[in-house]
Structure 1
Amino acid sequence: MTDIRTPRLLLRRWQDDDLVPLSEIHADPTVMRWIGDGTPRSLEQTAEDIEAWEEEWDEEGFGVFAVELLGSGELAGAVGLYVPSSPPEVEGQVAITWRMARVFWGQGYASEAAHATLEFALQDRGLDRIVAVCRTADTASSNVLDKLGMKAEGATMDPAHGHDVRLYGIDLTEFEG
């Protein structure tokens, strides 16, 4: 089992007790605005997400972590790695993603968790490159990507959801752990 500790967070694999708190995060339309097609997800869809993330862990050796606050044990959100199927420019590469409960926005948790995940990908898992797909209007996520040192590499439309997106990337040689 792979756990990562940061000064304030524990990034870990998913547990049964995480389903309800994550489904509450997924039910918030403000949180989900920038994710997928932008609609909230049900408890059943959230269970499917966790199952898919756990399968990716088993198949790829990486996946999406549960993000737990060290001080309280609360589930704050999710961060991790996945292999996108769209847009075509990043298909088959390894991408970073995150979502945090709105109550935890603006406190640096997304940046802290994403940095630890990027370090895990490039240094522990030996990946040479990580990409990110960010909706054009999602300035908060763009700011996190900038803090990670990821560089904008172009723009396109995500054919799966019809949104304009910016593409980001970072190579192992560019990462400052």
Structure 2
Amino acid sequence: MAECIEFDTERLRLRQWRAADREAFAALNADPRVMRYFPARLSREESDAMAERCAEGIAQWGWGFWAAEERASGALAGFVGLNVPRPDLPFSPCVEIGWRLAHAFWGRGYASEAARAALRVGFERLDLPEIVAFTAVPNLPSEAVMQRLGMRADGVFEHPALPVGHALRPHKLYRLQRAAWLQDLVA
């Protein structure tokens, strides 16, 4: 068990998951707007299992996909954080940055705000040499966040979890090296 890293941004708290998060997390995972660029919405059981995997990862490693809580309201906005993705991706092994926010929290800059802080944890506390991000090709809002974070496009790949011919199988890959991130900090 590692020390659990938790931190605040200006408007969010990135923290370990709580049982009380499950209902709000299930609602966002069942929302067709939130899940538009995923193959399917999640059932309550699937959502709870995902929250449990996120919590277990943080307990084991000290970091992961943190619960993102809006500090002003205490409401669960979704998750933002770092993750070791499936090993059959063409660029594995790696650490990815990812986010998923409830629709009510879109358009406020929360994903970018929290992701910048997660990058700082990854590069400064975990000493990662690189962090990647990827999304389905049509997911332009997430791609825009990747660009705002200073990540660089590195082509398109076929996501192995989706069948050949599936509309969401082509994914865009973005990368950010620690050296480039540090350079952007001083620029």
SS of the residue corresponding to residue 127 of structure 1 reads coil
Alpha carbons 1:10, 1:67 under 8 Å: kept: yes
In 1, Cα distance between the equivalents of 2:87 and 2:112?
24
In 1, Cα distance between the equivalents of 2:159 and 2:87?
7
* Runs of 5+ consecutive residues of structure 2 not aligned to the other structure: 164-168
In 2, Cα distance between the equivalents of 1:16 and 1:127?
30
In 2, Cα distance between the equivalents of 1:10 and 1:45?
24
SS of the residue corresponding to residue 46 of structure 2 reads helix
In 2, Cα distance between the equivalents of 1:90 and 1:17?
35
In 2, Cα distance between the equivalents of 1:42 and 1:28?
11
Q: Which residue of 1 aligns with 2:179?
A: 173
- After superposition, the C-alpha distances for 1:64-94 in whole angstroms (9 at most, x for unaligned) are 1011111110111111111111662222210
Q: TM-score, normalised by structure 2?
A: 0.88
Q: Which residue of 2 aligns with 1:17?
A: 20
In 2, Cα distance between the equivalents of 1:136 and 1:170?
19
Matched, 1:85 2:86: yes
Matched, 1:29 2:32: yes
Select the structure of larger CA radius of gyration: 2
Q: How does 1:57-72 map to 2 (within 5 A)?
A: 57-72=58-73
Q: Which residue of 2 aligns with 1:113?
A: 114
* Runs of 5+ consecutive residues of structure 1 not aligned to the other structure: none
Q: How does 1:148-163 map to 2 (within 5 A)?
A: 148-162=149-163, 163=169
In 2, Cα distance between the equivalents of 1:125 and 1:61?
10
In 2, Cα distance between the equivalents of 1:99 and 1:152?
20
Q: Which residue of 1 aligns with 2:42?
A: 41
Alpha carbons 1:130, 1:171 under 8 Å: kept: yes
Deviates more, 1:47-56 or 1:87-96: 87-96
Q: How many residues align?
A: 175
Letter in 1 for 2:121: F
Alpha carbons 1:84, 1:90 under 8 Å: kept: no
Q: Which residue of 1 aligns with 2:139?
A: 138
Letter in 1 for 2:46: Q
In 2, Cα distance between the equivalents of 1:88 and 1:115?
24
Q: What is the percent sequence identity of the aligned residues?
A: 36
In 1, Cα distance between the equivalents of 2:18 and 2:53?
13
Alpha carbons 2:129, 2:178 under 8 Å: kept: yes
Q: Which residue of 2 aligns with 1:6?
A: 9
In 2, Cα distance between the equivalents of 1:167 and 1:137?
13
CA RMSD of aligned residues (A): 1.4
In 1, Cα distance between the equivalents of 2:106 and 2:91?
27
